[in-house]
Amino acid sequence: MTIAIIDYGMGNLRSVEKSCAKLGMSVELTNKKAHIAQAEALILPGVGAFGAAMANLKKLDLIEPLKEKLLADTPFLGICLGLQVLFEKSEESPGIEGLGVLKGEVKHFYSQKGFPREELTIPHMGWNQVKREKELRLFAGIPPAAYFYFVHSYIVKPLEKNIGIGTSDYGQDFIAALEKGNIFATQFHPEKSSPWGLKILENFSRMVMLKKSE
């Protein structure tokens, strides 16, 4: 089983690779179209700006290969910016199209009605609980009061409301994790979230193995 970690120059890739290796996961850090096409699963991490991420993916000619894999129901885990680029657009980079495999957009915290900007600093940085209403595949074995590490200024606003599987609170509730088919994504950083973050990666790996055995 090979999981491709997509190397598109948007930071934090090595941390994700090391966390996966610590769990014994078979991963490959790559930006090669052929490797991505052959991979049994994909991880798209990212730290930085929406527009720069899409520009880098376009420069590497990875946008269409990535979309093809996502539409083919390949297990996928997006992390932070890797979550945001799944959507159609972002306030961070007006006029720049995202991958568009999920309908909706990415909004700044300050765009949210009632956000207490006088009280809270942006970016949101630190440990927060992720609340879930039921046991979910990505959070299997993780206690409901577990904390995860966030660094972000933007939040996702899906048109499909039922795909949000976890929320957190910073001034108001926002989507911290989502699931649609074999697409999973987190606004927090599992690779920086100690044992429960590693459990997220382990759960994803287990789902990849189950998918392979089908």
| Tens-digit pLDDT profile for residues 41-99 | 999 999 999 999 999 999 999 999 999 999 999 999 999 999 999 999 999 999 999 99
Question: Considering the entire predicted model, what is its pTM?
Answer: 0.96
Average pLDDT per 10 consecutive residues for the chain, totaling 214 residues:
89 90 92 93 95 97 95 95 98 97 97 94 97 86 94 97 94 96 96 96 93 76
Instruction: Please state, in angstroms and rounded to a whole number, the distance separating the CA atoms of residues 28 and 38.
Output: 11
What is the side-by-side strand order in the sheet with 104-108?
A: 89-90, 104-108, 154-158
Active site residues: 80, 189, 191
- Determine the pLDDT at residue 93: 97
Instruction: Please state, in angstroms and rounded to a whole number, the distance separating the CA atoms of residues 6 and 125.
Output: 24
- Determine the pLDDT at residue 59: 97
Residue labelled with tokens 């499909």: 160
The hierarchical CATH code for the domain 3-213 is 3.40.50.880
Burial 130-152, CB ≥16 within 10 A → b, else e: bebeeeeebbeebeeebbbbbeb
Q: Where exactly are the structural domains of the chain?
A: 3-213
